[in-house]
Amino acid sequence: MNVRKSSLPEVLIIEPRVFGDSRGYFLETWSQRRYGEHGIPEHFVQDNVSKSRHRVVRGLHLQHPGGQGKLVSVHYGAVYDVAVDVRVGSPTFGRWFGQELTEENHLQLYIPPGFAHGFCVLSDTALFVYKCTAPYAPEHELGIAYDDPDIGIEWPIGDALVSERDRHSPRLAELTEESLPRFSSV
């Protein structure tokens, strides 16, 4: 497998080895030892699946406290996946990184705690799969506007389909520092 840093150094792009022939393919989506060698946490507590249709945008979401690291991939279809650094004091605070994840490219992203996460569906439908380092805690969930002009995410779709909750999420600048995770250089 090949692991490289994105423009947000803590967000990792993982390219698993794919073994294919005329029958199909095989790939390893998680190995505690192998992924751990690249700094990806050894402990995941929850797996999630999201099925969405074309133009759906989900996000931007995070939890604080109880931040979740996420190992994300697409098993069917295509999405544009985005991570935003929202750690107060981080040198990359407010910056975003986006990557197309598809069933063909088999790429994964590791998004550590302290980053908001979202994606939009590029295909007719998509099956989005992710592992989390902490359990879902609705009382600690935060939403940030997917279309926050200060962040400036360049979503590759128009006329997004967004939930009411996500449509009314505040801009990053409207959140208090106390409600956001803090950057630690340790």
153-177 residue pLDDT tens: 999 998 999 999 999 999 999 999 9
Residue 109 lies in a domain: yes
Q: Which of 61, 64, 106, 117 is catalytic?
A: 61
**113: cis peptide before it, omega within 30°?**
no
Report the alpha-carbon distance of residue 91 to residue 170 in Å, rounded: 22
What is the count of structural domains for the chain? 1
Residue 184 lies in a domain: no
Residue 79 lies in a domain: yes
Q: Which of 35, 80, 110, 130 is catalytic?
A: 130
- Torsion, CA 6, CA 51, CA 162, CA 116, rounded to 10: -30
Do 100 and 60 touch, CB atoms closer than 8 A? no
Would the pLDDT of 186 be above 70? no
- pLDDT number for residue 28: 87
Name the residue range of residue 137's domain: 2-18+26-148+155-179
Residue 100 lies in a domain: yes
Residue 185 lies in a domain: no
How many percent of the chain have pLDDT more than 70? 99
CATH number of the domain within which 120 lies: 2.60.120.10
- Would you call 151 helix, strand, or coil by DSSP? coil
Q: Give catalytic status of residue 43 as yes or no.
A: no
Task: Note the pLDDT tens digit of each residue in 38-59.
Answer: 989 889 999 999 999 999 999 9
Q: Give catalytic status of residue 80 as yes or no.
A: no
Taking the alpha carbons of 102, 135, 183, 116 in that order, is the dihedral positive or negative?
A: positive
- pLDDT number for residue 41: 81
